[in-house]
């Protein structure tokens, strides 16, 4: 029998100050990157615009494509290699003409340069500004509504403290993942949104497992006599540690394979998941429980302090 | 074998058979999203305000006629903005009579009355506006559906999205330009006289009577692919519209070899009207206008009885055929704008699905292997449960006509993750119970029972999230929510019910159980 952590008793809560520091640093780096780059880079799903995915018969030179496109003056186009050296994504700002007209002009411009060879248009997408904005808003609403739903459910099944701490942990994971996207210059697209939603699901799932153990231990009398709340949480996290790490490992493998072999279409999605799994596991072990301890000691502190004042007087 | 094992096994067997039934044949049972299949995805915005304006225009004309019938002189009855009509009577003398007439138009409210100046404004009621808007969108949806049906696309999706949008998905269609032209055309056909008193030069210079406007004819040179616009001065008054049409068909254009024309047939009333118009206007030019563009403006040589006319315009056969479809199905109640458009070539869809499937199977395989190595026989049971989960998930998609897209695949990934996690939770618990000295049988029992509550909690939280996402999200977010919801429901069945059953079959019958493989 293989056994990870046969009898763990790590002091996670004791190291919570370090964990806060690490989290704050990571989130700060991510936020700084987002601010420096003027926010997240939205894919045309959210920003609106026209996107062409083209494939050349031979690997062309990007400069040549750029020169060919500059001649037809479609505005600021962004040209990116996509997957392999023959495939490119061309992003164009919103234009008045239809996407077919744009496609035709690009095709003509490329045909005018014989060194570029044959080009096939594999995908054209046009998203109007209104739709992009609506999608953005709707995504935000959906995520906020989802978080509120989680908060209510966890607050009912456990307590408000747990609900709030779980939400903060989820938020933490989403922030770190978004920061990682910004740092690696990836775009926020619909599949990436799906990945963020997945991270939320994964992270809250993980956190609930630890909470449940805490609740179960506390409901069995006698066993926890003499231990502080921090110790109780430590015990719960340790007891569920092998399951947390095991599940993280399986998910880690699965998303890792997706990231490295899933191809360009799935890459950004898999990357967000990959980061989300790591930070989700980390936040379950180091953040969610620690926050409840923090909250409890704050509340107890406030209860005790007035008493002291009375004693002095 | 105890009785309860029989019915539990029976239930599992029935579920498996049912799933297989829904999934057969696999190729056609699950709808693939356009990102995986290739095709066209369009979102159209219906300009419902224009439909309201048109309705208001009609009411203004009716009102004017009604007032005049009662002998009330009016100076001006005209639409103002989208939903208001400004009325200026000749004098305040017939004020009360006028109000009685106005009260018959019960969907409009009277505002800004000024009896001394003999004027008031009518505004369409908010509820009526809402209703008109709704009618416009529903009408457009219906017409577009009919057009697409005639176009011949297999399994198109045409649905309403939000209050004023229409989502159209045409899998496998590779000529987006043609499809868009067919779908996006308003298709409003009008017959109007040219204004032959005003020269085109004067009109372009701005000297244009209030009753006329400039419309253009697009002339295309097919060789150089250039387009040139020819201006016409056309009366604003519409003599006849395409609403009176009963049929439209394609013919070769006898005057222009290689080109096609569309022949239209009017209803009896329309034919009568057409005969009258041609009779009264012999020698003048009659412009045939579609969606604000002049197609042709032939001279009327004589009265045309029989209710037939032709529209020429150097059409290719496809263009003529599509125009005939649009005319036959009638005009959209309001014009539409293209808000979003995605065309995915079939090769790309194939590539992404192939690569995606390979990666997903590989990651699934890694999870399978991991479980097998770590938990041995119990891992194999979990793997079986996982396979069953996937089967159920796909069957549910097939049964409810769900569409599988890339974000949907994300939902499946999360489902697999959670289904594995459920078994990990149970197995870790069983191991724990064995460590504290319980017998294998008691450990299995305790493991399943103790883990059950947390499994319910984790599942319900994520199910709640999926439900909320489904309600608040659109398109891809919904696709994600659907796969997540069905997957998690299936996982409750497979990871708890099914694995427990296998454990029971394997271990519960034995009188003595020394060790289990976990």
Could you report the per-residue pLDDT of A60-101, keeping only the tens digit for each? 888 888 888 888 777 778 888 887 788 888 888 766 666 777
Do B461 and A154 touch, CB atoms closer than 8 A?
A: yes
Q: Is the per-residue pLDDT at B395 higher than 50?
A: yes
Nearest-CA distance from A144 to chain B in Å? 10
Q: Is the per-residue pLDDT at B27 higher than 80?
A: no
The pLDDT assigned to A206 comes to 85
B215-218: long-range contacts at Cβ-Cβ below 8 A with a sequence spacing of 24 or more?
B215/B287, B215/B289, B215/B292, B215/B293, B215/B294, B216/B293, B216/B294, B217/B293, B217/B294, B217/B295, B217/B296, B217/B297, B218/B293
Q: What is the distance between the alpha carbons of residues A36 and B245, in angstroms, rounded to a whole number?
A: 61
Over residues B29-79, the pLDDT tens digits come to: 777 777 777 788 888 999 888 888 888 888 888 888 888 888 888 888 888
Rounded mean pLDDT, A150-168: 89
Mutate to test the interface with A, among B342, B427, B443, B516 (most CBs of A within 10 A): B342
- Partner-chain contact A247 B420, CB within 8 Å: yes
Do A100 and B42 touch, CB atoms closer than 8 A?
A: no
* Closest residue of chain B to A154, computed from CA coordinates: B461
Q: Is the per-residue pLDDT at A310 higher than 60?
A: no
The pLDDT assigned to B224 comes to 65
Q: Which residues of A touch B361 (CB under 8 A)?
A: none
* Exposed/middle/buried for residue B275 (C-beta within 10 Å: 0-12, 13-18, 19+): middle
For B94, which DSSP code?
Answer: G
Interface of A with B in 60-119 (CB under 8 A): 98-100
Q: Is the per-residue pLDDT at B410 higher than 80?
A: no
CA-nearest of B274, B259, B243 to B143 is B243
Rounded mean pLDDT, B513-518: 76
- Partner-chain contact B411 A239, CB within 8 Å: no
- Partner-chain contact A153 B464, CB within 8 Å: yes
How far CA A5 is from CA of A144, A244, B63, in Å, comes to 36, 11, 85
Cβ contacts from A onto B, under 8 A: 222
Beta strands (DSSP E) in B316-404 are 336-344, 403-404
Interface of A with B in 138-197 (CB under 8 A): 138-139, 141-142, 145-146, 148-150, 153-154, 157, 190-191, 193-195, 197
pTM of the model as a whole? 0.76
Mutate to test the interface with A, among B344, B428, B435 (most CBs of A within 10 A): B428
- Going by pLDDT thresholds of 50, 70 and 90, the confidence category of residue B415 is confident
CA-nearest of A38, A33, A72 to A52 is A72
- Going by pLDDT thresholds of 50, 70 and 90, the confidence category of residue B244 is confident
Rounded mean pLDDT, B182-187: 85
Q: What is the distance between the alpha carbons of residues B248 and B225, in angstroms, rounded to a whole number?
A: 28
- CB of B52 within 8 Å of a chain A CB? The answer is no
The token duo for B68 is 């005049």
- CB of A10 within 8 Å of a chain B CB? The answer is no
Given CA atoms A210, A215, A220, A221 in this order, what sign does their dihedral have? positive
The pLDDT assigned to A24 comes to 95
Nearest-CA distance from B91 to chain A in Å? 47
- Partner-chain contact A194 B480, CB within 8 Å: yes
Nearest-CA distance from A304 to chain B in Å? 34
Rounded mean pLDDT, A28-50: 89
- Partner-chain contact B176 A120, CB within 8 Å: no
Which of A46-50, A95-99, A192-196, B434-438 is predicted with the least confidence, judged by mean pLDDT? A95-99
Task: Estimate to the nearest angstrom the gap between the alpha carbon of A38 and the chain centroid.
Answer: 18
How far CA A296 is from CA of A159, A299, B5, B417, in Å, comes to 12, 5, 47, 32
Q: Which residues of A touch B431 (CB under 8 A)?
A: 1, 3
A160-164: long-range contacts at Cβ-Cβ below 8 A with a sequence spacing of 24 or more?
A161/A292, A161/A295, A161/A296, A162/A211, A162/A292, A164/A291, A164/A295
* Residue with tokens 């998930």, as numbered in its chain: B393
Nearest-CA distance from B210 to chain A in Å? 30
The pLDDT assigned to A312 comes to 47
Q: What is the distance between the alpha carbons of residues B63 and B87, in angstroms, rounded to a whole number?
A: 9
Do B267 and B245 touch, CB atoms closer than 8 A?
A: yes
The pLDDT assigned to B162 comes to 78
CA-nearest of A280, A272, A218, A217 to A244 is A280
Q: What is the distance between the alpha carbons of residues A192 and B111, in angstroms, rounded to a whole number?
A: 52
For A59, which DSSP code?
Answer: P
Rounded mean pLDDT, B399-423: 80
Q: What is the distance between the alpha carbons of residues B94 and B89, in angstroms, rounded to a whole number?
A: 8
- Going by pLDDT thresholds of 50, 70 and 90, the confidence category of residue B427 is very high
- Partner-chain contact A204 B374, CB within 8 Å: no
CA-nearest of B276, B489, B286 to B392 is B489
Main-chain dihedrals φ then ψ at residue B157, nearest 5 degrees = -115, 125
- CB of B156 within 8 Å of a chain A CB? The answer is no
Which of B208-217, B345-354, B399-408, B488-497 is predicted with the least confidence, judged by mean pLDDT? B345-354
The total number of residues written for chain B in this structure: 518
The pLDDT assigned to B511 comes to 67
Nearest-CA distance from A87 to chain B in Å? 11
Greatest CA separation for chain B: 109
Over residues B444-502, the pLDDT tens digits come to: 999 999 999 889 988 988 888 888 888 877 666 777 888 889 999 999 999 889 999 99
Nearest-CA distance from A141 to chain B in Å? 7
- Partner-chain contact A149 B465, CB within 8 Å: yes
Q: Which residues of A touch B386 (CB under 8 A)?
A: none
Cα angle at A194 between A192 and A199, to 5 degrees? 95
Question: What DSSP letter does each residue of B382-418 carry, written as one string?
Answer: HHHHHHHHHHHHHHHHHHTT-EE-HHHHHHHHHHHHH
The pLDDT assigned to B1 comes to 58
- Partner-chain contact B340 A131, CB within 8 Å: yes
* Closest residue of chain B to A148, computed from CA coordinates: B465
Could you tell me the strand order of the sheet in which B260-266 lies? B245-252, B260-266, B308-315
The token duo for B382 is 């979990």
- Partner-chain contact B410 A120, CB within 8 Å: no
The pLDDT assigned to B188 comes to 86
* Closest residue of chain A to B41, computed from CA coordinates: A125
* Closest residue of chain A to B164, computed from CA coordinates: A131
* Residue with tokens 């009753």, as numbered in its chain: B211
The pLDDT assigned to A298 comes to 85
Do A203 and A284 touch, CB atoms closer than 8 A?
A: yes
Contacts of A186 (CB under 8 A, 6+ apart): A41, A192, A268, A271, A272
Nearest-CA distance from B462 to chain A in Å? 6
Q: What is the distance between the alpha carbons of residues B2 and B470, in angstroms, rounded to a whole number?
A: 42
* Exposed/middle/buried for residue B201 (C-beta within 10 Å: 0-12, 13-18, 19+): exposed
Q: Which residues of B touch A124 (CB under 8 A)?
A: 176, 341-343
Mutate to test the interface with A, among B410, B440, B449, B483 (most CBs of A within 10 A): B410
What is the DSSP pairing of strand A41-42 with strand A187-188? parallel
* Exposed/middle/buried for residue A262 (C-beta within 10 Å: 0-12, 13-18, 19+): buried
Over residues B144-156, the pLDDT tens digits come to: 988 888 877 777 8
Q: Which residues of A touch B43 (CB under 8 A)?
A: 128, 131
The pLDDT assigned to B483 comes to 87
Q: Is the per-residue pLDDT at B372 higher than 90?
A: yes
Rounded mean pLDDT, A256-276: 84
Q: What is the distance between the alpha carbons of residues A252 and A270, in angstroms, rounded to a whole number?
A: 10
**Side-chain-facing half-sphere of B227: CA atoms under 13 Å:** 6
* Closest residue of chain B to A190, computed from CA coordinates: B476
- Going by pLDDT thresholds of 50, 70 and 90, the confidence category of residue B306 is confident
Rounded mean pLDDT, B153-171: 84
Nearest-CA distance from A308 to chain B in Å? 41
- Partner-chain contact A202 B420, CB within 8 Å: no
């Amino acid at each position: 029998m293989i056994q990870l952590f046969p009898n763990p008793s790590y002091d996670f809560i004791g190291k919570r100050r370090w964990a806060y520091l690490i989290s704050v640093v990571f989130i700060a780096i991510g936020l700084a990157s987002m601010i420096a780059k003027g926010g997240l880079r939205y894919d045309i799903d959210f920003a609106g615009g026209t996107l062409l995915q083209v494939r050349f018969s031979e690997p062309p030179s990007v400069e040549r494509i750029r020169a060919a496109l500059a001649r037809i003056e479609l505005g600021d186009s962004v040209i990116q290699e996509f997957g392999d050296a023959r495939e490119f994504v061309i992003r164009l700002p919103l234009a008045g003409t239809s996407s077919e007209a744009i496609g035709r002009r690009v095709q003509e411009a490329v045909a005018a340069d014989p060194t570029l060879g044959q080009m096939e248009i594999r995908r054209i997408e046009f998203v109007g500004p209104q739709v992009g904005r609506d999608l953005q808003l709707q995504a935000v609403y959906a995520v906020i509504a989802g978080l509120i739903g989680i908060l209510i459910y966890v607050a009912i099944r456990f307590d408000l403290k747990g609900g709030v701490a779980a939400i903060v942990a989820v938020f933490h994971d989403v922030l770190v993942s978004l920061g990682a996207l910004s740092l690696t210059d990836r775009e926020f697209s619909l599949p990436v949104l799906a990945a963020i939603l997945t991270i939320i699901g994964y992270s809250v799932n993980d956190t609930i497992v630890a909470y449940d153990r805490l609740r179960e231990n506390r409901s069995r009398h006698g066993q926890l006599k003499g231990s502080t709340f921090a110790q109780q949480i430590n015990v719960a996290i340790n007891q569920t540690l092998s399951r947390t790490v095991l599940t993280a490992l399986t998910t880690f493998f699965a998303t890792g394979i997706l990231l490295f072999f899933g191809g360009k279409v799935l890459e950004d999605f898999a990357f967000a998941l990959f980061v989300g799994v790591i930070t989700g596991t980390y936040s379950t072990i180091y953040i969610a429980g620690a926050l409840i301890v923090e909250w409890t000691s704050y509340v107890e502190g406030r209860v005790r302090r007035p008493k002291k004042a009375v004693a002095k007087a | 074998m105890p009785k309860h094992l029989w019915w539990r096994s029976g239930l599992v067997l029935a579920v498996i058979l049912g799933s297989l039934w829904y999934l057969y044949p696999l190729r056609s049972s699950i709808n693939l999203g356009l990102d995986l299949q290739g095709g066209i995805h369009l979102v159209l915005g219906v300009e419902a305000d224009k439909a309201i304006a048109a309705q208001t225009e009609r009411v203004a004309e009716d009102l004017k006629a009604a007032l005049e019938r009662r002998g009330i002189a009016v100076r001006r009855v005209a639409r103002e903005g989208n939903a208001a009509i400004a009325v200026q009577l000749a004098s305040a003398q017939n004020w009360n009579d006028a109000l009685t007439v106005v009260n018959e138009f019960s969907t409009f409210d009277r505002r800004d009355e000024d009896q001394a100046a003999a004027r008031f404004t009518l505004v369409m009621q908010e509820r009526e506006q809402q209703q008109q808007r709704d009618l416009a969108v529903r009408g457009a949806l219906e017409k577009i559906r009919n057009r697409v049906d005639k176009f011949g696309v297999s399994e198109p999706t045409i649905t309403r999205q939000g209050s004023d949008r229409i989502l159209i998905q045409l899998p496998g269609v590779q000529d987006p330009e043609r499809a868009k032209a067919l779908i996006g055309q308003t298709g409003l056909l009008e017959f109007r006289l040219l204004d032959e008193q005003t020269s085109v030069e004067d009109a372009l210079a701005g000297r244009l009577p209030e009753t006329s406007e400039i419309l253009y004819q697009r002339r295309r040179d097919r060789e150089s692919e250039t387009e040139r616009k020819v201006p016409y001065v056309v009366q604003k008054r519409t003599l006849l519209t395409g609403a009176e049409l009963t049929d439209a068909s394609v013919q070769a254009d006898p005057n222009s070899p290689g080109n096609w024309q569309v022949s239209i047939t009017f209803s009896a009333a329309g034919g009568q009207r057409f005969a009258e118009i041609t009779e009264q206007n012999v020698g003048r030019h009659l412009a045939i206008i579609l969606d604000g563009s002049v197609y042709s403006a032939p001279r009327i040589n004589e009265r045309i009885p029989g209710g037939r006319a032709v529209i020429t315009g150097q059409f290719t056969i496809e263009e003529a055929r599509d125009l005939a479809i649009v005319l036959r199905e009638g005009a959209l109640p309001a014009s539409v704008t293209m808000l979003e458009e995605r065309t995915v070539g079939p090769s790309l869809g194939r590539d992404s699905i192939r690569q995606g499937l390979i990666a997903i199977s590989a990651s699934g395989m890694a999870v399978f292997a991991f479980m097998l190595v770590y938990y041995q026989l119990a891992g194999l049971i979990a793997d079986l449960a996982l396979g069953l989960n996937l089967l159920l998930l796909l069957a549910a998609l097939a049964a409810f006509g769900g569409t599988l897209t890339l974000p949907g695949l994300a939902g499946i990934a999360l489902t697999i993750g959670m289904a594995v996690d459920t078994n990990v939770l149970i197995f870790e618990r069983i191991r724990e119970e064995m460590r504290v000295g319980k017998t294998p049988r008691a450990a299995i029992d305790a493991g399943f029972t103790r883990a059950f509550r947390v499994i319910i909690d984790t599942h319900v939280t994520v199910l709640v999230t999926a439900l909320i996402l489904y309600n608040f999200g659109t398109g891809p977010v919904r696709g994600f929510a659907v796969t997540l919801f069905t997957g998690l429901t299936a996982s409750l069945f497979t990871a708890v019910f099914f694995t427990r059953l296998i454990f029971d079959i394997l271990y519960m019958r034995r009188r003595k159980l020394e060790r289990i493989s976990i």
